[in-house]
Amino acid sequence: METLKAQKKDSKSQKAIRITGAEAIIHCLLAEGVDLIYGYPGGAIMPVYDELYKFQDKLTHILTRHEQGATHAAQGYARVTGKVGVAMATSGPGATNLVTGIADAQIDSTPMVCITGQVTRSLLGSDAFQETDIVGISTPVTKWNYQITKVEEIPEIMAKAFYIAKSGRPGPVLIDITKNAQFDELDFTYEKCTGVRSYKPVPEPDISAIEKAAELINNAKKPYIVFGQGVILGKAEEELKALVEKAGIPAAWTILGLSAMDTDHPLNVGMVGMHGNYGPNMLTNECDVLIAIGMRFDDRVTGDLNTYAKQAKIIHFEIDPAEVNKNVKVDVAVLGNAKETLGQILPMLDKKEHKEWKAEFDKMYQIEYDTLINKDIHPTKEGLTMGEVIEQINVASDQKAVIVSDVGQHQMIACRYAKFKQSKSNITSGGLGTMGFGLPAAIGAKMGAMDREVVAIIGDGGYQMTIQELGVIFQHNVPVKIVVLNNDHLGMVRQWQELFFDRRYASTVMTNPDFVKIAEGYHIKSRRVTERTDLEGAVEEMMASKDPYFLEVKVEKEDNVFPMIPSGASVSDIRLK
């Protein structure tokens, strides 16, 4: 309480400066610690860009080649750093082009603030040039949004935007600012937001719920953990590891939870979901206590809800009350930040080893390895596989790279076979499944983690959705590594057509350009691999490069991703072939 009073006293003692709304926006960004913005200028946001020009020594602006690229780059930056990503665009089409990235950030809980320009206040509702109701359009896909029409609103609304974006369960916020508010002047002071009335971002943990959860875990014969991105967002990686090791519980991950726990940890049993590992899916319906940590029971994880873990008592560690009992009815809900709640339950847990139960996962892994995994990463057939490319990257990077994947077959292969020793290493579009995510997100990730290798794994389809962002790599010499796994198809759709539509390959065959020549046109060092004998050397050369590098690998056209749970089927119906 004293700290809050002191903050208010300090803010009131600040000397106000008379500036325009446009300059005030820049000062707000700097006060929030922002040093990097992705965006695209235009008429309605031009006053802000004019002020941005004056602050180039403090605030770097990256001109993406499309506004969607700005949001995905901001997402990549946010995911690898844990900071709020910032994207900016003009009104009308500039604003609407942000929507896909905003929707992606909303469903994947990525903290982001998007700033859009808007026509002057007097023209609102008149269908003026490049006027679009972006607040109305973005309402379903933002954590919060607001239209500023008066210059005096700017400091409070900007502070609130950053607080909401990063607090509790993170998400995207959009602030739309009319042109008059950018030109008008105000007496500017800034106070960071520390709370919003009626908004409680982190529920207070209920000790009785934690005690009930501990009792269930201690009495379990076949306990099983499924962890998601909430562990990463809550910075609870060490607590998760301590829980797993103390209670001896096998733990599996959702694709957004990947890298929260070392992939080589002996109790890390793999991935759940439609293309997850055999054991983690099958044994979901054999465990007696299912402990869900920071995950939301997405349909790609659960399959048919009528058959999902019906035999188990279910414990849900979750920060967002709206996710509890939304899809799966749980027996114990433990609300709060995972770092705090896992820390509280740890002393209550008995030290145990569930060797026989873990052996069941090992047995099923061996079946999957013999049937699929070995053939994916150590193939004997002539054509190159996506799995062996990922395995070569694991070796060349010593499992330390950040892997940014687009959406499709290559994404599932990357999530299945990439290995990690560090958190915040797997960046992909989870809930929305946005093709075109990979390249700009990798740019943002690299700019947020210049000390780490960042490798983009992209299919030939998704690559061409945002291929223009190669211009950002060229202009700013962003040393990201790009791997396009080219099978001349929209691979995932083609796989479904093969399995469920009698091989009617409707609009999935692609006639692709020369990707190497395109990359060379952006002065990016490039190489194409068509033979297995060249793969290891090409990957080593790419990883050793200090500059941007593009590698195209021609992989088999009809190589399917298995295991696979057919859409709407039970997790127990997982197919190995």
Is residue 246 domain-shared with residue 99, that is, in the same domain? no
Q: Are residues 166 and 232 in the same domain?
A: no
- Rounded Cα gap, residues 73 and 438, in angstroms: 9
Give yes or no: residues 333 and 211 share one domain. yes
Residues contacting residue 248 through CB under 8 Å, at least 6 positions apart:
267, 351, 352, 353, 354, 355, 358
Is residue 356 located within the same domain as residue 430?
Answer: no
**Could you list the active site residues?**
67, 129-130, 179, 492
Residue 57 corresponds to which tokens in the numbers above? Answer: 């020594």
Among the candidates 132, 160, 188, a domain finishes at 188
- Find the domain containing 247 and state its range: 207-361
Strand 185-188 to 17-20 pairing? antiparallel
| All residues at 6 or more sequence positions from 74 whose CB lies less than 8 Å from its CB, including other chains | 38, 85, 86, 87, 101, 112, 114, 444
Specify if 73 maps to a domain.
yes
275 assigned to some structural domain = yes
> How many domains, in total, are found in the chain?
3
Instruction: Note whether 348 and 473 are same-domain residues.
Output: no
376-381: long-range pairs with CB below 8 Å, 24+: 376/413, 376/417, 377/417, 381/556
Say yes or no: 250 and 396 in one domain.
no
- Pair (159, 237) in one structural domain: no
Asked, for residue 376, whether it belongs to a domain, the answer is no
Domain at 130, CATH number: 3.40.50.970
Q: What is the pLDDT along the chain (577 residues), one digit of tens a residue?
A: 344 344 444 444 579 999 999 999 999 999 999 999 999 999 999 999 999 999 999 999 999 999 999 999 999 999 999 999 999 999 999 999 999 999 999 999 999 999 999 999 999 999 999 999 999 999 999 999 999 999 999 999 999 999 999 999 999 999 999 999 999 999 999 999 999 999 999 999 999 999 999 999 999 999 999 999 999 999 999 999 999 999 999 999 999 999 999 999 999 999 999 999 999 999 999 999 999 999 999 999 999 999 999 999 999 999 999 999 999 999 999 999 999 999 999 999 999 999 999 999 999 999 999 999 999 999 998 899 999 999 999 999 999 999 999 999 999 999 999 999 999 999 999 999 999 999 999 999 999 999 999 999 999 999 999 999 999 999 999 999 999 999 999 989 999 898 889 989 999 999 999 999 999 999 999 999 999 999 999 999 999 999 999 999 999 988 899 999 998 899 999 999 8
